[in-house]
């Protein structure tokens, strides 16, 4: 039997003197915040960092909104003030009329607005704005005032740049006819909100639930999703994480091919539908995190290059990279940051999940993510409620979640694929692709105690060394988001099959217990709580036939390299691929699915009830395992989670009082006797 315990090695903080911050707004003294008490770091460092366990509280106890904490990252400088750099983003205010419309086109020679009327359209010449926040007046264009008054109040419009084809506004707030159609003026009805009492939520340590609006219900709309929110409340979910809803071409898709970042996809219900959804979540005590994509734009309907240097010659896995550091990149960064703040401010969203941040090419001294975190912190102070940024990253780089005074970016949390891979490979036995290095119980123990498996180790899948260790004395475990599956880990399988399609109930229960009772922030993927049998395949609806064929062929070629039979791979363009991915809620009426739902609900209830099980620090975890016998134990204070990975009856030399299990065990002679593929949770004796 191999046993490991304790936290990983200590990583002393390095002293970095940032010097004065030019243009810093009046400081906010973090010591005035009642929920946060600074404590000194070790080795005499002059830095202070916030006790992360205290930050799990929300702002419900804060009465003075000017004293609300930042993005819950503990990101203050050495003087106890929230650190800020001049962020170039100006707030985005949706235009009320034609006269309010502005467009950035720094290299254009002429810009004309085409305003639609009942009798056709009128041309409204644009002129260079004389002053925009003291910046270069040549970059921004505004309507000629003497002509703007001729536009109708329910304006729909497009732009003609240098005599080209008419295209929608890069900051369209609504596109009722799709991403190739005209922009429409739109304002959210502030009187329709009913969440004045919502005080926000810290996502760290909360139970997250990822869903896709188009497949969460048969109707695939925000309003239909609202009807299922009570199910999530019963389950014990705290935060709903919504896959991207920005406008993309076609009727359905995953959402990562968005091209109109300021607009909400019309088939889902448009901006008003999304506002109703967020409001309905808050009324039920559910937070909302929105998935956003800032690393690339989709292949159809991207008109940004018509207006300015939004993109570079460089590329990433999905297309051209955003211009984050080349000439005129300040406005591109402003475009991104202002968009992020719009979701948080105008739509009352509680956090953003930032897609594939490793694909953001930014060599600047202050990375875009750091700027975005600082802007989010400032907005949190203004609104008086916590706002969180969650990164998806393939880098295994703890700088994303390190406080900024320690040289990090100060994000609240990040997805952790290593945790998923270690759990999935150990339980399922799969070793293909990026699972090649995973599967051992030693590896599972490592990620539960240290967060990353690849922390500077050699990755055979990448054929290079990868990652760096997390300083577990400075970063909380709950800053890592853990999951048994998510949209990628299901949808990027050749046929989009869920673990419930090929694993027994006992194995699914093992995975669920390890995630939900771990020190990490757990996240479920829609339907896993009842072992849904419907797949979640990769689906698209590109109207352009050539783009559809290229997508389908590329998908087959990609999986052929991994040994999958290309004939079995569903055509992403086939409408049936999309329809088959919709959840079948009638499964909940079947006893086998109801049993799994009840088990998940009891796990979540246990996590929330027992202090040992909702601690979010690495030091709260120890592990024991026996490779030859096929069992693994995760200990959390007086609680222990026994996982029987072997398929046959197994004896585990642990004396405990069982309180929750998949299959009932027997306790005799100071040991646990269990059937194979089982999980048992109890208190040690």
Catalytic residues: 355, 392
380 is written with which tokens? Answer: 């949190």
Residue whose tokens read 């002679």: 669
471 is written with which tokens? Answer: 């300083």
Residue 23 burial by Cβ neighbours in a 10 Å radius (0-12, 13-18, 19+)? exposed
Contact 359, 322 (CB under 8 A): no
Rg (CA), the chain: 26
Contact 390, 327 (CB under 8 A): no
What DSSP line would sit under 448-483, residue for residue?
HHHS-S-SSEEETTTTEEE-----TTTS-GGGEEEE
Q: How far apart are CA 443 and CA 437, in angstroms?
A: 9
Strands 111-117, 38-40: parallel, antiparallel or unpaired by DSSP? unpaired
Name, in order, each residue with C-beta under 8 angstroms of 112's C-beta and a sequence gap of 6 or more.
123, 124, 125, 126, 159, 160
Alpha helices in 356-406 (DSSP H): 368-383
Q: How far apart are CA 520 and CA 527, in angstroms?
A: 21
Return the SS3 of 292: strand
Return the SS3 of 37: coil
Name, in order, each residue with C-beta under 8 angstroms of 332's C-beta and a sequence gap of 6 or more.
308, 309, 310, 322, 323, 324
Any idea of the CA torsion for 334, 336, 337, 341, to the nearest 10 degrees?
130
Name, in order, each residue with C-beta under 8 angstroms of 553's C-beta and a sequence gap of 6 or more.
none
Give residue 173's Cα distance to chain centre: 22
What DSSP line would sit under 23-70, residue for residue?
TPPSP-BGGG-TT--EEE-STT-S-EEE-GGGGGS-GGG---GGG---
Q: How far apart are CA 33 and CA 26, in angstroms?
A: 16
Q: How far apart are CA 414 and CA 392, in angstroms?
A: 6
User: Which secondary-structure segment (H or E) carries 125?
Assistant: strand 120-128
Beta strands in 35-83 (DSSP E): 38-40, 48-50
Q: How far apart are CA 571 and CA 471, in angstroms?
A: 44
Q: How far apart are CA 357 and CA 355, in angstroms?
A: 6
Q: Which of 136, 184, 128, 125 is nearest to 160 (CA)?
A: 125
Q: How far apart are CA 507 and CA 521, in angstroms?
A: 21
393 is written with which tokens? Answer: 């990253």
Give residue 93's Cα distance to chain centre: 25
């Amino acid at each position: 039997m191999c046993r490991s315990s304790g936290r990983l090695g200590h990583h002393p903080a390095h002293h970095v003197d940032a010097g004065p911050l030019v243009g810093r707004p009046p400081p906010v003294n973090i010591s005035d915040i009642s929920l946060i008490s600074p404590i000194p770091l070790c080795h005499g460092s002059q830095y202070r960092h916030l006790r992360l366990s205290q930050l799990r509280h929300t702002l419900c106890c804060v009465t003075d909104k000017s004293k609300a904490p930042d993005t819950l990252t503990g990101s203050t400088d050495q003087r106890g003030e929230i650190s800020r750099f001049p962020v170039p983003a100006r707030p985005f205010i949706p235009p009320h009329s034609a006269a309010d419309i502005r467009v950035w086109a720094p290299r254009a020679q002429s810009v004309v607005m085409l305003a639609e009327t009942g009798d056709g359209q009128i041309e409204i010449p644009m002129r260079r704005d004389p002053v925009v926040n003291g910046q270069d007046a040549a970059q921004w264009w505004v309507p000629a005032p003497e002509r703007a008054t001729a536009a109708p109040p329910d304006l729909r419009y497009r732009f003609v740049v240098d005599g080209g084809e008419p295209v929608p506004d890069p900051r369209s707030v609504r596109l009722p006819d799709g991403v190739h159609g005209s922009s429409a003026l739109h304002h959210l009805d502030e009187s329709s909100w009913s969440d004045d009492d919502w005080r926000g939520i810290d996502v760290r340590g909360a139970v997250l639930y990822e869903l896709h609006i188009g497949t969460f219900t048969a109707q695939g709309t925000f309003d239909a999703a609202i009807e299922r929110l009570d199910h999530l409340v019963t389950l014990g979910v705290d935060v709903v994480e919504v896959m991207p809803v920005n406008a993309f071409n076609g009727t359905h898709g995953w959402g990562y091919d968005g091209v109109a970042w300021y607009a909400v996809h019309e088939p889902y219900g448009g901006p008003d539908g999304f506002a109703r959804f967020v409001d309905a979540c808050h009324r039920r005590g559910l937070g909302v995190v929105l998935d956003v994509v800032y690393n690339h734009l989709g292949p159809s309907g991207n008109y940004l290059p018509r207006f300015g240097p939004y993109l570079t010659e460089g590329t990433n896995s999905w297309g051209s990279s955003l211009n984050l550091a080349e000439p005129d990149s300040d406005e591109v960064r402003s475009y991104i940051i202002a968009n992020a703040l719009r979701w948080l401010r105008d739509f009352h969203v509680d956090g953003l999940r930032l897609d594939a941040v490793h694909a953001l090419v930014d060599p600047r001294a202050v990375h875009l993510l750091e700027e975005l975190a600082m802007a989010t912190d400032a907005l949190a102070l203004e609104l008086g409620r916590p706002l969180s940024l969650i990164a998806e990253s393939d880098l295994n780089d703890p700088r994303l979640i390190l406080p900024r005074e320690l040289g990090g970016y100060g994000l609240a949390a990040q997805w952790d694929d290593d945790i998923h891979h270690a759990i999935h490979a150990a339980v399922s036995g799969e070793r293909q692709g990026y699972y090649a290095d995973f599967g051992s119980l030693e590896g599972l123990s490592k990620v539960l105690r240290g967060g990353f498996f690849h922390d500077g180790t050699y990755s055979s899948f990448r054929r290079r060394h990868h990652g760096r260790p997390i300083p577990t004395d400075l970063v909380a475990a709950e800053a890592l988001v853990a999951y048994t599956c998510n949209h990628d880990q299901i949808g990027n399988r050749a046929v989009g099959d869920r673990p419930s399609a090929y694993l027994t109930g006992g194995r699914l229960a093992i995975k669920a217990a390890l995630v939900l009772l771990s020190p990490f922030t757990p996240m479920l993927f829609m339907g896993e709580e009842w072992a849904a049998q419907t797949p979640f395949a990769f689906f698209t609806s590109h109207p352009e036939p050539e783009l559809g064929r290229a997508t389908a062929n590329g998908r087959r070629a990609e999986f052929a390299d991994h040994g999958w039979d290309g004939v079995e791979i569903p055509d992403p363009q086939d409408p049936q691929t999309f329809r088959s991915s919709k959840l079948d809620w009638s499964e909940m009426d079947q006893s086998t699915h109801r049993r799994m739902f009840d088990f998940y609900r009891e796990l979540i209830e246990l996590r929330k009830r027992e202090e040992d099980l909702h601690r979010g620090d690495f030091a709260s975890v120890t592990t024991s395992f026996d490779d030859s016998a096929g069992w693994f134990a995760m200990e959390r204070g007086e609680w222990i989670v026994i996982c029987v990975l072997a398929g046959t009856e197994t004896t585990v030399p642990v004396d405990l009082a069982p309180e929750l299990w998949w299959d009932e065990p027997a306790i005799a002679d100071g040991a646990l006797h269990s059937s194979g593929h089982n999980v048992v949770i109890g208190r040690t004796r």
